[in-house]
A and B are shown apart, each in its own frame.
Chain A
């Protein structure tokens, strides 16, 4: 693995564009800036083309002979199928409003990370093969041939975009850069040009139901392990059910929440909350993954992986579906699931059994975000909370890109945090809510081998955290995304040491006063509660 550069090296960012015209500037595959290539076995597991082991750092990418025809045919097909794609290829006026909004551009200074130029990598090929002006005037009309080098450039930069859509907020035309990246990745995928970190979880999810590849007994064992920890903490024994037919609600989370730190504390928070409510819900070992790395390969793959959620809801006969704290999972669930795999007319419009609130926003998808669910409980005063248990924390909230920009979940998590914590501080206005800055590791870019790019891309977010750390003594970065929970700790340790990372429902679990619980000695992480440390 590439050696991690020091902070001051990474901060030597030049925003001066190189003298060489961009079309003549080849990609430098510098270790630390790109992911491993997909493994043949993982591509094969889901029937993806050109399944073989390959390495992006090597000259030969083992492309099929007819690769160029495949890409152009794929492009023609998608231009016909997706009106948005054709529109986004045509309408940009190069105003540059997006240019400095991308966290990868801010952190690297690489002009090809300006959203406008990242899109131009593909638009130039579009013009050459699909417009009259490009066919006639070539480079004069901003067109260029599709070559192996162009293909490599696509791969490098379309896997250096987290599909966060911050640039789209500032685009006067509303061009969705994520859709351009999605199309770029789809076309690359036709040649087996995926990454190990994306295609591995896709294969796992397809074969075993979740990204990590946990088998049913392993998922159950992990959750039961958390149940033991909850009993140690509260004295209350919980017996969650799995694959239970006739439950009112199916609960779906990202698998990171029952496998990785600190997501497991978030998961404990869910379990405690549902126990306290007496909620009639079930986990599923089949629909054990709400996240969808298929979304980072192709729409078709995302649809295949998503199908299990409605299928399981139907099989179990639940009334509606509740979803945990995840980022891209909600872009898929909120904006695609219904049209891909719906209509879910066998489900009912979600109604909270505790408050009677109808979640009319989920009338179509039948799936409610846990932040909405919990905020509604608090609003109706249905749970007892002791926010002083979180008094050791000075919390800020990182809006996860997809729930914020893809779903409008902006107020609910803040409302929850303000009710379960006494110390909450916002980061600067241009870095939160719909203008939130990405963690730098979304859309499948969270392995270790591309760490330099992750740290560069995450720098603007980290910088905003540093601001509230210095101004308000913030020591905890809350969020509602499983990738955030695994990526931000690394980012904080590097740029803003002393700031921890947690899910919102970890804070809920700590503050939740449960009926019959014993006096709590520690928080979920085993740290002494603030009042006790004050006594000591």
Chain B
């Protein structure tokens, strides 16, 4: 299994680069994951990341894409511009959320 080393912490990732354990996430980890996605985190990125963390705290899952788009007041194009891998594989990954599976 893959892992990243942030400071002195060894943090396991799944095959698609998502955190195995969302509770190991913090801002330092987000910065590290952003680098692997070739994203330079700006204030606008952080606003979305913080929204995702809050949603995850409330609901224990990543938000539906439509809902995320509406809640952060940005269209999907803007989200792709900020996170080129998209809302799931980009934004949610950097925010440390687990990837959703099923008919999704």
CA A486 to CA B101, docked complex, whole Å: 11
Q: Tell whether A196 pairs with B103 under 8 Å between CB atoms, given A53-B1, A213-B61, A449-B16.
A: no
**Residue from A39, A217, A449, A486 in contact with B103 in the complex, judged by beta carbons closer than 8 Å:** A486
Q: Tell whether A201 pairs with B102 under 8 Å between CB atoms, given A261-B66, A264-B64.
A: yes
Q: Tell whether A259 pairs with B104 under 8 Å between CB atoms, given A222-B67, A225-B67.
A: yes
At the interface, yes or no: B4 with Cβ under 8 Å from chain A? no
Asked whether A255 lies within 8 Å of B64 as measured between CB atoms, the reply is: no
- B101–chain A nearest beta-carbon distance, Å: 4
Asked whether B104 lies within 8 Å of A212 as measured between CB atoms, the reply is: yes
CB-contacts of A329-378 with B (<8 A): none
**Residue from B1, B61, B89 in contact with A214 in the complex, judged by beta carbons closer than 8 Å:** B61
Interface string of A444-460 (1 = CB under 8 A from B): 00111100000000000
**Residue from B16, B61, B89, B102 in contact with A291 in the complex, judged by beta carbons closer than 8 Å:** B102
Which residues on the B side are within 8 Å of A197 (C-beta)?
101
- A458–chain B nearest beta-carbon distance, Å: 16
CA A468 to CA B90, docked complex, whole Å: 35
At the interface, yes or no: A256 with Cβ under 8 Å from chain B? yes
At the interface, yes or no: B72 with Cβ under 8 Å from chain A? no
**Residue from B65, B89, B101 in contact with A211 in the complex, judged by beta carbons closer than 8 Å:** B101
Total interface residues on A, CB under 8 Å, equals: 40
Asked whether B103 lies within 8 Å of A218 as measured between CB atoms, the reply is: no
Interface string of B52-86 (1 = CB under 8 A from A): 00000001110011110000000000000000000
Asked whether A259 lies within 8 Å of B100 as measured between CB atoms, the reply is: yes
- B74–chain A nearest beta-carbon distance, Å: 14
Which residues on the B side are within 8 Å of A308 (C-beta)?
none
Give the nearest-CB partner of B15 in chain A: A36
Asked whether B103 lies within 8 Å of A291 as measured between CB atoms, the reply is: yes
Which residues on the B side are within 8 Å of A483 (C-beta)?
103
At the interface, yes or no: A263 with Cβ under 8 Å from chain B? yes
**Residue from A39, A221, A261 in contact with B65 in the complex, judged by beta carbons closer than 8 Å:** A261
Which residues on the A side are within 8 Å of B14 (C-beta)?
36, 39, 196
CA A260 to CA B65, docked complex, whole Å: 7
Q: Tell whether A215 pairs with B60 under 8 Å between CB atoms, given A53-B1, A291-B102.
A: yes
- A438–chain B nearest beta-carbon distance, Å: 15
Give the nearest-CB partner of B88 in chain A: A448
CA A509 to CA B103, docked complex, whole Å: 22
CA A449 to CA B15, docked complex, whole Å: 9
Which residues on the A side are within 8 Å of B103 (C-beta)?
211, 254-256, 260, 263, 291, 326, 446, 482-483, 485-486
Which residues on the A side are within 8 Å of B66 (C-beta)?
261, 264
- B91–chain A nearest beta-carbon distance, Å: 15
Asked whether B64 lies within 8 Å of A259 as measured between CB atoms, the reply is: yes
CB-contacts of A202-228 with B (<8 A): 204, 210-215, 217-218, 221-222, 225
* A residues at B contact (CB < 8 Å): 1, 36, 39, 53, 55, 196-197, 200-201, 204, 210-215, 217-218, 221-222, 225, 254-256, 259-261, 263-264, 291, 293, 326, 446-449, 482-483, 485-486
Q: Which 5 A-B pairs have the closest CB atoms?
A: A211-B102, A256-B103, A482-B103, A200-B101, A201-B102
- Give 19 CB contacts A-B under 8 Å: A36-B14, A55-B15, A196-B14, A201-B102, A212-B104, A213-B100, A214-B59, A215-B59, A221-B59, A254-B103, A255-B102, A256-B102, A260-B65, A261-B65, A264-B64, A264-B66, A447-B101, A448-B89, A449-B15
